[in-house]
Amino acid sequence: MIEATYIDHMGNDLSVVNAARVSFGKKSKLICTDLVQGTYDMSKGDKRLIKYLAEHKHLSPFGHAFASFHIKAPIFVARQLVKHKFLRWNEISRRYVKDDPQFFYPDHYRNVSEDKKQGSGGIVSNEVGNTAIQAVTALCANSTIQYNKLLDAGVCEEQARMILPQNTMTEWYWSGSLDAFAAMCQLRCKSDTQVETQHVAWAIHYKMKELFPVSWEALMDD
């Protein structure tokens, strides 16, 4: 199962505002919007500033708000997402870990897209789906057996792992600034992104929208 688990974050929308306003020796504060409920919000001017920064590509203030996630996904998803170089990445290594591998099995298999050189289309027929399930299940079972045989024979972990298929699950810590995660989501939440990769991107999108509502909307609308 593909998972994107929130770990922690630093800063908020006001952090972005004050990172920008420091250039003029200014600092903003939240304003009370309801004395009874004790709720606070940003001023309209601060919200407009965030929108202005995003629209005009003044992105450095967004680098002062930060978030971290723990991702679990198959290798073929990880190899797409690792390309986002401005996000910090630390991944489990099978040079050191030799537990039995876990595998990703999709809920359904998709056919080849008719109008694109890459990507996928609709769900395959039951017959084709059953063939795919049997083939992938057999491959994963056999690769696990052969992987353990290599380890038991004394082959080192860093070489034994090469027998494992692309749907082997991996996991990593992924951290970065608001603007870095926004750049990733702008690309990976698109409909032409591989569905499994979209699962990770959308999970991060919804959490970032919750943590930094004003900044995230401004960046994603850009």
Give 10-53 pLDDT, tens digit per residue: 999 999 999 999 887 878 887 766 666 667 788 899 999 999 99
Q: What percent of the chain has pLDDT over 70?
A: 95
Query: What is the mean predicted confidence (pLDDT) over 102-116?
Result: 89
Global pTM exceeds 0.85: yes
SS3 172: strand
Quick one: pLDDT band at residue 210, thresholds 50, 70, 90? very high
Q: What CA–CA distance (Å, rounded) separates 102 from 155?
A: 20
pLDDT in tens, 142-193: 999 999 999 999 999 999 999 999 999 999 999 999 999 999 999 999 988 9
- Which pLDDT belongs to residue 53? 96
d(CA 163, CA 142): 10
Mean pLDDT, range 84-113, rounded to an integer: 93
- Please state the length of the chain: 222
Phi and psi torsions of 98, nearest 5° = -130, 30
At residue 36, the 3 state secondary structure works out as coil
Averaged pLDDT score across all residues of the chain: 93
48 is catalytic: no
C-alpha torsion sign, points 69, 184, 164, 122: positive
Q: Which of 21, 48, 88, 188 is catalytic?
A: 188
